[in-house]
Amino acid sequence: MTVSALMLTVEAPRFYGIVGHSIVNFGQFNLMSSKVISSTAAPGSAQRRVKRSITSLQILTQLGIEHGLSIEQCLAGTGLTALQLADASQEVEPATELQLIRNLLAALPAEPTLGLKAAQRYQLTTYGIWGYALLSSPTIRSAAELGLRYLDLTFAFAHISLQEDDALAHICVDCSEVDTDVQAFITQRDTFAVLVIQRELLGQQAMPLHGLTLRLPKPADTRPYEQLLGFLPQFGAGDNRISFARTLLDQPLPRADPGTVELCDAQCRALLARRQVRDGVAAQVRHLLLRQPGRLPDMPRVASQLNLSERSLRRQLVSEQTSFRQLLEEVRQTLAEELLATGGLSLEEIASRLGYGESSNFIHAFKRWKGLPPSQYLLSRNRATKG
């Protein structure tokens, strides 16, 4: 049975600069020309690893200011100055955004729905080229597949995936690996940001939902959720899941443009590749891992090749806000995409070359990386290539 249609209210897109003690709208910016800022914040255990636009930090700081905080309170411990925050070309590490979120939560403990309020500010244009790629897609399905391929270009910390059964499609927002102190905020923001995107893709039409489940405990006041959705979500569920009729996946989108989506896809691919570039010891580790695909060395071997002890290698990677495990995951993901694109290997052979004992383990890992199983990912990539 279908519940009430989605009733999200969204705000106009904002791109910010600093004037006095306020953040003001300075318009759109060029995503392809960026500078990187490293945070002094400690990395979260499950943070996304790819550098991101500073836009999300501008949005969150504006939210803090509107709740009575100063810019200095919002940016404490991030390593950012107000002038750096105003520079729309800046890129930051995910840990920097997590620190800002922690600052908001610590300063505003009486705001249990801060994540819901934040979510409404993330319109598609906020995401730059990624958002325009989705807007230009022919159907909701193709938009979802493209969006999941380049999820690391967004501001999400959750693992997001698309699942289908006989009658329903489900957008699953997995926050289980997000640090517990920010988990409720990320659950609210990342889940409800998906709903904002769904509404915009349909040209501001209400999208009928079959239901919405959240792992969050039921709050004392559920009105903010009901006002946004038009119905009461199921709290205390096993997962965060947005469910709707599967037939909606193939519904044509009003602003579909094959030429534009092909161009945006190429720009997304280039931007993601640039943001994934490593330097320092992390770059050396990544190079050693990529040098022998099919025989990925373990940490002791890599440390030996770099003339370091395991302890020293681990310490240096932590100082660069990464770990050997994270780098190994990145390399496996890169190699998996390349091996799938060749088309000459079975999933079992690819799994073996990447060091997985079973193909099922590889498929599970790939779905965690891309939100889609390898076969569906390859189909969506081929469709995008053919335009």
- Residue 331 has a pLDDT of 87
Summarised one tens digit per residue, pLDDT across range 195-225 is 999 999 998 776 899 999 999 999 999 999 9
Q: Do 313 and 208 have their domain in common?
A: no
Tell me how far apart the alpha carbons of residues 329 and 347 are, in angstroms, rounded to a whole number: 17
Q: Do 224 and 100 have their domain in common?
A: yes
Q: Do 209 and 315 have their domain in common?
A: no
Q: Closest Cα to residue 336, out of 285, 309, 373? A: 373
- What's the mean pLDDT when you consider all of the chain? 85
Q: Do 172 and 295 have their domain in common?
A: no
Domain count, the chain: 2
- Flag whether pLDDT at 258 surpasses 50: yes
Summarised one tens digit per residue, pLDDT across range 116-172 is 999 999 999 899 999 999 999 999 999 999 999 999 999 999 999 999 999 999 999
Count CB-CB contacts under 10 A for residue 302.
Answer: 21
Flag whether 268 is in a domain: no
- Residue 353 has a pLDDT of 84
β-partners of residue 164 are 169
Flag whether 267 is in a domain: no
- Flag whether pLDDT at 35 surpasses 80: no
- Flag whether pLDDT at 340 surpasses 50: yes
CB of 95 closer than 8 Å to CB of 56 = no
Flag whether 223 is in a domain: yes
Three-state secondary-structure class, residue 22: strand
* Domain region containing 330: 278-386
Summarised one tens digit per residue, pLDDT across range 270-309 is 898 888 777 788 888 888 888 766 678 899 999 999 999 9
- Flag whether pLDDT at 253 surpasses 70: yes
- Flag whether pLDDT at 54 surpasses 90: yes
Summarised one tens digit per residue, pLDDT across range 224-251 is 999 999 999 999 999 999 999 999 999 9
Q: Do 284 and 242 have their domain in common?
A: no
- Flag whether pLDDT at 346 surpasses 90: no
CB of 40 closer than 8 Å to CB of 267 = no
- Flag whether pLDDT at 28 surpasses 50: no
What angle, rounded to 10 degrees, do the helices at 374-386 and 324-342 form? Answer: 60
Q: Do 51 and 109 have their domain in common?
A: yes
Whole-prediction pTM = 0.72
Summarised one tens digit per residue, pLDDT across range 102-120 is 999 999 999 999 999 999 9
Count CB-CB contacts under 10 A for residue 56.
Answer: 24
Q: Do 139 and 227 have their domain in common?
A: yes
